[in-house]
Structure 1
Amino acid sequence: MDSKMAIISAWSYGLAGVLAALLTLYLASGRRSSSRSGAMFLAVALCTVWGMLGLAFALTGQGIFLAGSLLADVLRFGGWYLFLIMLMRPESPAEGAPPTAGIGWLSTIAGLLVACGFAAQAMAVFGVGVIGFSARLALFASLAMSVFGLVLVERLFRNVSPDFRWSIKPLCLGLGGVFLFDLYVYSDALLFNRIDADAFSIRGFAHAVALPLVALSAIRSHDWKRRLVMSQRAVLQSATLLIVGTYLLFMAAAGYYVRFFGGEWGRALQLALLFAALLVLVALTFSGSMRARLRVQVGKHFFSYRYDYREEWLRFTATLSAQGGFAALGRHVVRGLADMVESPSGALWLKDPSGRFLAQAAFWNMPASPATEDVDSPLCRFLLDSGWVINLEEYRSLPRRYDGLVLPSWLVEVPNAWLVVPLTTGSELIAFVVLATARTRIDVNWEVNDLLKTAARQAGAFLGQMQASEALLEVRKFDSFNRMSAFVVHDLKNIIAQLSLMLKNAERHRDNPDFQKDMLMTVEHSVERMRQLMMQLRQGATPLDGPRGIDLADVLRRIQTAKTGQGREVELTIEEKLLARGHEDRIERVIGHLVQNALDATEKGGRVWVRMSRQGSQALVEVGDTGHGMSPEFVRERLFKPFQTTKPTGMGIGAYESFKYVHELGGRVSVDSAVDVGTQVDLLLPLFDGGKALTSDELSGKQE
């Protein structure tokens, strides 16, 4: 080692040793009597020893210090392994069940790696065996320990509870960086058959940078008493990472020996092998069958139950809750059930609205089928009475277990049909799902059956609720159409009354030119009004055009003229010409209805009046009479309710429509009435353009 490199190494390892020593003192000063605290203290103390031995070798160049540093390096790995595994274990039996499944085999692998690494380093240091072989074996062991360290860090971070992740994140970042740097150093050494002296000399700096992060976690979590929950998903990911790491190590070793023994073609063969290895790795990573087999093996060998029920339920609920309407919900149900048993496809048969048969309503990776099944068929009766999940493979080999079951011919012909899952709601079979054969071999035991039946009940409830919602929406559409029809019939009644009065007067005034002119105008107005009603019935209750400015004075004068033509007098007072916001035909219909009600309630000789004025930023239209009046109870409880009326030929729609429309505009309706005294109805309508009052000249200009 040259002098410059020795100085860099001395600073590097010396800084790591000093920082580790300071952290060791900090931990010793506040050390608690827990296994986790002791494991962390041991790991940091070993880092101190490793750093100081590296410093001694850089300063003196003595081989004994190098040998001690290499052996301490292996022990340092072992110390961090112990601490990470301790964090994954429950702190005490009171915290829950025995240590989570999967910790045992992690501890075993960690122990074997440390033992093999220590032995390999000892062989390299003391020259046992072939020198070149022992050195490469030591490099392989160090690379393997780096990979396993990354596996432990990844598993710890994925399984920590969310509220503890803030405390554990600096530790995972620090140790992950250390193991990743070591992975680079040793993989580079194996690939090029030499140790990069520059990288090896700054290993101490890399560890020194990581130690403050470890100290930050120690400050945040003094006793490390948070419990970690190991899920099947995390074990599966860790197992996948471990398998991939082992595979890469094996292929790296194979590539080295191919290059070593390949002569002139060695490098080309090595590149070809590495490319093929990476291609196989990508293919296996994206293989659904391989993931399914690995998931089954992990659940079978590392957990007492096959499923992580929390994960399964969250995933299934999220699948059912995805957007897309009723048709998409059917596909979500099929896919959610299929994912539970690693099935690649399936289809849903849903009860028809008539309730007589079930037809295919959704399918996922399975061909569409026109087949239907009667609700009284043997298959539907068996599913409803037993509630069983039918295993078609079991049915073919042991049909006596399904006593009374007769499979329909269309189900026998479904390709790869495997399971039939009933979906019930209450005591009704609402649907069933047919799932195809799983990607891997799965034993359909009691656990699988119970999970599928429970999930199917939830899916049945979702489907039933969606069907009820669609039926309710349809009923509401009909209700809206009926309500709109009632409004139209009410207006038609008024038009018929107007035409009837005209026909009654035609016998006496048919030769009068003024009456003829008025009659033609009335018929034309009636035809136009009925055309508008038919358009409204087709397009909906809300007019297509938006509210605009309406000259209330012209509207009131037209109403007065129409009633005068019917032989009734209406007093009209306009204090100020105003432009209101609304739809002209509907405003005229609302005020006209109030005036007509006043006339109907007032005997001849009585008084009916209309007065318009400004009230703040609104127009006030007052319609009053000296007629029969209404009781306070009727005004409060019945006046503005649909189909409530005191007139023998009334429909009870006009007041309700008027009240609803005025409130839609942002106005208000108030009624003051007394029996045998009279009634006064006040309409407050919003003014157009900020409530600006218009003069006669401005109005005429706008009309032009």
Structure 2
Amino acid sequence: MAEVATWSYGLAAVSYLLFGLYIFVAWRGALPGGVLLTAVLLSCLWALASAVNAWQPGETSLVLSAVLDVLRGAAWFAFMIVLSLPLWGRRLRWPALLAVGVLVFQLVAIVLEGVFDGGTLGLQPVLVAWLAHSIVGLMLVEQLYRGIPVSSRWGIKPLCLALAAGYIFELYLFADAFLFSRIDPDVWAVRGLAHALLIPLIALSGTRSPSWTLRMSMSREMVFHSTALAGAGAYLLVIAGAAYYVRFFGGDWGRALQMTLLFAGLVLLGALLFSGALRARLRVLISKHLFSYRYDYRNEWLRFTQALSAADKGLDLGQSVIKALSDLVESPGGVLWLRDQYGSCTMHSRLNHPPMTAVEPLESPFCRFLDERGWVINLEEYRLRPGHYEGLKLPPWLSAFGDAWLVIPLKASDSLIGFVVLSSPRAPFEIDWEVLDLLKTAQRQAAGYLDRMLAAEALLEARKFDSFNRMSAFVVHDLKNLVAQLSLMLRNAERHRDNPEFQQDMLETVAHVESRMRGLMTQLQEKRSIDPARPVDLVPLLKSVCEGKRGQLPAIEVRVEVDAETEVNAHPQRLERIIGHVVQNALDATDEDGKVAVTLGEAEGKALSIVVQDTGCGMSADFLRERLSRPFQTTKASGMGIGVFETRQYLNEIGGQLHFDSEVGKGTCVTITLQRVRRAQ
């Protein structure tokens, strides 16, 4: 065991040295901190001397390590006495005098009776002295812990636990040696490492005890990883002990069963270490029982801002916002809704959640509640105590959101720009004032990033439209030339009527084209509609649109399923153009053997619906959700990507709606809903 002892005491010496340097930097001159620094440095020297004695045994090194052992024990006694002095009225009491007597007894036993045989203490008085040292140490720990008020024990508890564990280890070691007249080499070899394992608990008390005047802090990451490592070590020890038992009593199958048990234990350990739910439960347990506050705000804020400012690992900004918020409450993910240009909140991003098609208007009671109150809605609390959220009315789609847990509003410049719905946490997570305050602060930061993203997207689209307008100026210039040519042709045709019927037909056609060109030119130049809105009968308009597409394959089938009034209030030419655009898209997406049907029918609320159904190539759900209604997004090689955008904008202008239902390989169904003209009774 010499090599084990060398490594054990060597690691203890390094650990105490690093801890001593940390205390030296953090020390601010108070007596408790100075005594603690002395105790740690003497413990480092004792561990170093013991490592040297284990590596090269000798009488001198053994006596030196024994003397340093007594001195380090005296320093820890002094530290506990200094901490107990305020409880004793600044006077030394009998436990302190008893501690001094035990230390003197130890030194006398070493100096006068120190006879060493084979590297172990050979005389009973020396063992009795060390036993007394352990008992007095436990007594001082008990006096310190019991003397401190219950409300203040939280800070000193880790120190008392560490010192008590160390003295219990010493008591076992020397009691066993006293009974069997020899020191157990296995226990002696791990003595240094056992004491080094107590350093984190002492450091934790240092962070909790400002009276020591030590500017010490222990990060939650260190506590979390240390706890996880200790748990993994304990788990492996249990598995190893069980495997040893199986091998010892398993007969011929012992070694095979031992290897099987060890392999199964390692696999289970790996599964537990990579379990998000287990890590979440461990974080909650540590935050609840070891820290006064749940969060390390500095680290949480740095991690949150880093997640927002550097969206990586394949996540866009919306997904990064979801992940940053969900990590604060141990949630696996959620869904982000953001406002669009049509005055509604639509799904923008999702993380570990299937896509949703729910749309929530900004003027709905739900969004108004989020905007006015700015509350984080705990849906579990709402179901138990709905009166706490007075005035809140959940939309139907949110009630059907199976694992919805928290609704976090996103407000920028005191206006709602969207909200995040987080899924249920991996482990039970209590929502208290601290969590709510952190989430409210975090949502402000996230909303600022998202608001700038929306502004940047709007600016980009505006620049694209500016480029489109500049291009329109060239188109207007070309139209002027065409109009001039047509006008000249009309004048020549009027003077040369060789064939009256042919010339008459030509004049009507050319006049119509010339009139449309002038109207288009006026619209592009003045950016206004060609004519004012007025009642328009949809039946002849649909027939006109489909008649204009004749000659294209496939043929268009027109069905009218309305018996009552079919008039709507619109701009005839603009309405004809956008319907023609939808029909043309259906024709372009359909093969020659396919079908395109245009149906005029009834809709809900005394409205009319124009349904354009084709059997073409269809569109994917991602394209429908993310690209179809955005300008300059198209699947056509020669398309500009503004047709659907213009169609939706105009329909919103006249109170209509546009809906797409498509599936790749099965075709597309486009539904245009328009309000009937209300006739005076």
Greater Rg over alpha carbons, structure? 1
User: Taking structure 2 as the reference length, what is the TM-score of the superposition?
Assistant: 0.48
